[in-house]
Structure 1
Amino acid sequence: MIRPAQPTDAPAIARLIILAMGKLAAKFANNSNEQIQLDLFERFVALTGNQYSYTNILVCDEADEVCGMIMAYDGAKLDELRSPFLQYTTTQLGFTGQPEDETQPGEYYIDCLAVNPGHQGKGIAKRLINALFKRAAELNHQTVGLLVSKGNDKAKKLYTDLGFEVKGDKALLGGVHEHLQYRLN
């Protein structure tokens, strides 16, 4: 079942965020220790008013287990939503990076999508994306966007098979990503 996330989902969602982000999670936490990364994302998922908040997340719940999640928000609110997270990571964890803008106004931005490895191959990612399309339309958005790491051909194929189009490249914290967009009807 796809449903809105709740604060109590934070531990499971934090693991999925780290799975989706890969090395970026360690950069934000300024630490390769997975527990520090988990604590960071668990904290922000459970709060409101930030990009990682449960209020921006849909989860796939099967047998009372969060097995997948998708996180998205209005690109026009990136600075507002990113600010509390960057302030915390800078003052509490010593993060010194200056992330580039990964989205822009006019785009409902998919920040993270992840499915637990034991549940992959069951169509959960597609179900989450389709549920997000519905949510974006209900919020009067016409364009959904995301970044895919260069070389992540499996993820890129998932998105292009669903109708996303490559719009160009974007840099983010030292990595180069492809920017894809989908136009809602």
Structure 2
Amino acid sequence: MIRQAQKQDYHQAAILIYDAIHDIANALTGEHEKEKVLEQLGLYFTQEKNRLSYQNCLVKTVDGIPVGIIVAYHGKVAYELDEPIRAHVKEKTGKEPFFDQETDETDFYLDTLSVNSQFGGQGFGTELIQSMITYAKEQGYPTFSLNVEESNHKARRLYERLGFSYKKTISINQHFYHYLVKKL
């Protein structure tokens, strides 16, 4: 079943998000120890109005347990959604953080997609993407975008089968990504 994420999903959500974004999670939390990174990701998830908030997530559940997550929001609010995260990192590190711009302001943006590896290959990622595409269409967004690491050819083929096409290459946390867009 796919449903809107709930605050109590924070533990599984933090693990799924971490599995998808790795070193970006360190940058977003100001932490380097995995347990502390997971703890902060869980806190972000339970809060409102930040990019990793439960409000921006759908989860795929099996027997009531979240085994997949998709995080998405409109690009025009991306900077605003990062404000609480920037404030936390500045307080933690004493430095003004810089986060790369991941999305165009005109696109509804898929920030993170993750499925527990024990449930891989069952189409759960595709289900999550299709559910979020449906949501974006219902909200009247004209385009849906995502980034895929340039070396992840398997994921890019999946996204292209779902109707996404290459627009540009961008850098996020010193890694190159292909920015793909789907017209809705």
Q: Residues of 1 paired with 2:33 and 2:168: CA distance?
A: 33
Which residue matches 1:69?
69
When the two structures are aligned, how many residues end up with a matched partner?
A: 184
SS in 2 for 1:18: helix
Does the 8 Å CA contact 2:148/2:178 hold for their aligned counterparts? yes
SS in 1 for 2:103: coil
Q: Summarize the alignment of residues 90-129 of structure 1 with structure 2, pairs less than 5 Å apart.
A: 90-94=90-94, 97-129=97-129
User: Is structure 2 residue 26 aligned with structure 1 residue 3?
Assistant: no
Q: Summarize the alignment of residues 153-168 of structure 1 with structure 2, pairs less than 5 Å apart.
A: 153-168=153-168
For 1:90, the aligned partner's letter is K
Cα drift, residue 96 of structure 1: 5.2
Q: Residues of 1 paired with 2:49 and 2:97: CA distance?
A: 21
Q: Residues of 1 paired with 2:30 and 2:85: CA distance?
A: 13
Q: Residues of 1 paired with 2:95 and 2:86: CA distance?
A: 8
Which residue matches 1:132?
132
**The 10-residue stretch of structure 1 (146-155 or 29-38) with the greater mean CA deviation from structure 2:** 29-38
TM-score norm. by structure 2 comes to 0.95
Q: Summarize the alignment of residues 14-25 of structure 1 with structure 2, pairs less than 5 Å apart.
A: 14-25=14-25
Does the 8 Å CA contact 2:28/2:85 hold for their aligned counterparts? no
For 1:100, the aligned partner's letter is D
Which residue matches 1:52?
52
Unmatched runs of 5 consecutive residues or more in structure 1: none
Which residue matches 2:79?
79
Cα drift, residue 134 of structure 1: 0.8
SS in 2 for 1:59: strand
String of CA shifts for 1:106-158, please: whole Å, max 9, x gaps. Answer: 20000000000000000000100110011101111010001111101121111
Cα drift, residue 176 of structure 1: 1.2
For 2:154, the aligned partner's letter is K
RMSD of equivalent CA atoms: 1.3
Are the structure 2 counterparts of residues 91 and 159 from structure 1 closer, same or farther at C-alpha, using a change threshold of 3 Å? same
Cα drift, residue 95 of structure 1: 6.2
Cα drift, residue 28 of structure 1: 2.7
Q: Residues of 2 paired with 1:59 and 1:29: CA distance?
A: 22
Q: Residues of 2 paired with 1:128 and 1:15: CA distance?
A: 17
Which residue matches 1:173?
173
Does the 8 Å CA contact 1:30/1:94 hold for their aligned counterparts? no
Q: Residues of 2 paired with 1:121 and 1:154: CA distance?
A: 12
Does the 8 Å CA contact 1:146/1:179 hold for their aligned counterparts? yes
Cα drift, residue 26 of structure 1: 2.2
For 1:52, the aligned partner's letter is L
For 1:71, the aligned partner's letter is V
Unmatched runs of 5 consecutive residues or more in structure 2: none
Cα drift, residue 171 of structure 1: 1.1
For 1:55, the aligned partner's letter is Q
For 1:123, the aligned partner's letter is G
